[in-house]
């Protein structure tokens, strides 16, 4: 993984770590500022796309010259769908995923998440939306090594400002959904790669995000574990009414997708 990509992932982990250290002191204040999400039964499925990407371009300045990475991307994510971005290394998949998740902004074009203009919002506003309504899964799991599976999942509820009275039921439910009820007190090093990735999924969905973004979530796993992860994705789409957008290199899992966008050199073909 290139340095700048590590730094994106690292950025998100640092954000989580920072939030972890802030939360016990300021959870009520944070919760109030973010209009505490009360966890209730799944809301009815929206008909409108949850995400719209219109004519998005992204150019980086590299050594004083422009590098055009995304060259006019249009896409829609519909509620409770599983969408895959496929393409060669360097084609621009992670760059697009970072923009959908509000970690980066387009040079040109528009991104609307649930009608909100992500392309025009400032970092702080995008961060609030991201923490409340999105979940992220990375190739390298991004779990806190000293915390148990249970505590890792609980952490994301703290970060989202969910009242502590709801934590136990929700953590148990999410670990159950990913098939890890019997491993909830294990720490990451006591779990297999596939189990760690399932904890990462439980952690990413605990606060009931509407959109789950996953950057090559099966890259570190063998084919059997990858199939298990895809089965878990299908389960949570049904039970949690979440929409999933993921990148992949793996042709064997494409058939599980509702829609595959094939990216070549910064464009969909
Ligand atoms: N912050 C940045 N600064 C400079 N160049 C960048 C930056 N981010 C991405 N790029 C360039 O954009 C291109 C696309 O990168 P991106 O990570 O989006 O590809 P990818 O399809 O996700 O690749 P992989 O499958 O290897 O993860 C690469 O050539 C990369 O060098």
pLDDT at 159 (0 to 100): 86
Distance CA 84, CA 82 (A): 7
The verdict on residue 49 lying in a domain is no
Q: What is the ipTM of this complex?
A: 0.97
The total domain count for the chain is 1
The verdict on residue 173 lying in a domain is yes
* 94 Cα to the center of ligand 1, angstroms: 7
Among the listed residues 17, 9, 33, 42, the one whose alpha carbon sits nearest the alpha carbon of residue 205: 42
Q: 223 — phi, psi (to 5°)? A: -65, -35
The residue segments making up the domain with residue 195 are 79-102+120-256
Confidence tier at 9 by pLDDT (50, 70, 90): very low
Helix axes 3-33, 93-100, angle to 10 degrees: 10
Q: Give the tens place of pLDDT for each residue, 216-233.
A: 999 888 999 999 999 999
Ligand 1 binding site (Cβ under 6 Å of any ligand atom): 4-5, 60, 62, 67, 69, 87, 89-95
The verdict on residue 92 lying in a domain is yes
The verdict on residue 196 lying in a domain is yes
Which of 9-13, 75-79, 121-125 has the weakest average pLDDT?
Answer: 9-13
* 28 Cα to the center of ligand 1, angstroms: 39
The verdict on residue 197 lying in a domain is yes
3-state SS, residue 240 = helix
Query: Please, what is the average pLDDT of the chain?
Result: 85
Residue nearest to atom 12 of ligand 1 (CA): 69
Distance CA 119, CA 29 (A): 27
The verdict on residue 108 lying in a domain is no
Residue nearest to atom 5 of ligand 1 (CA): 60
Residue nearest to atom 26 of ligand 1 (CA): 89
The CATH number of whichever domain residue 89 belongs to comes to 3.40.50.300
Largest CA distance in the chain: 54
């Amino acid at each position: 993984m290139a340095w700048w990509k590590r730094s994106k992932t690292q950025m998100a982990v640092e954000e989580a770590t920072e939030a972890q250290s802030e939360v016990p002191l300021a959870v009520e204040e944070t919760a109030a500022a973010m209009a505490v999400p009360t966890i209730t039964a799944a809301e009815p499925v929206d008909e409108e796309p949850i995400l719209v990407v219109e004519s998005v371009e992204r150019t980086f300045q590299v050594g004083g010259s422009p590098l055009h990475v995304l060259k006019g991307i249009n896409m829609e994510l519909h509620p409770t769908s599983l969408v895959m971005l496929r393409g060669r290394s360097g084609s621009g998949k992670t760059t697009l995923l970072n923009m959908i998740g509000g970690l980066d902004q387009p040079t040109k074009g528009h991104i609307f998440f649930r009608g909100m203009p992500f392309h025009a919002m400032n970092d702080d506003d995008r961060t609030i939306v991201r923490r409340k309504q999105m979940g992220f899964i990375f190739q390298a799991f991004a779990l806190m090594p000293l915390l148990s599976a249970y505590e890792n999942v609980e952490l994301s509820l703290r970060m989202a400002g969910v009242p502590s009275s709801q934590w136990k039921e929700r953590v148990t439910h999410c670990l159950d959904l990913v098939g890890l009820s019997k491993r909830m007190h294990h720490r990451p090093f006591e779990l297999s790669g596939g189990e760690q990735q399932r904890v990462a999924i439980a952690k990413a969905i605990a606060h009931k995000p509407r959109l789950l973004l996953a950057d090559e979530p099966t890259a570190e796993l063998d084919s059997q574990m990858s199939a298990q992860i895809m089965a878990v994705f299908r389960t949570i789409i049904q039970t949690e009414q979440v929409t999933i957008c993921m990148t992949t290199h793996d042709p064997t899992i494409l058939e599980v997708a509702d829609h595959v966008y094939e990216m070549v050199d910064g464009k969909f073909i």
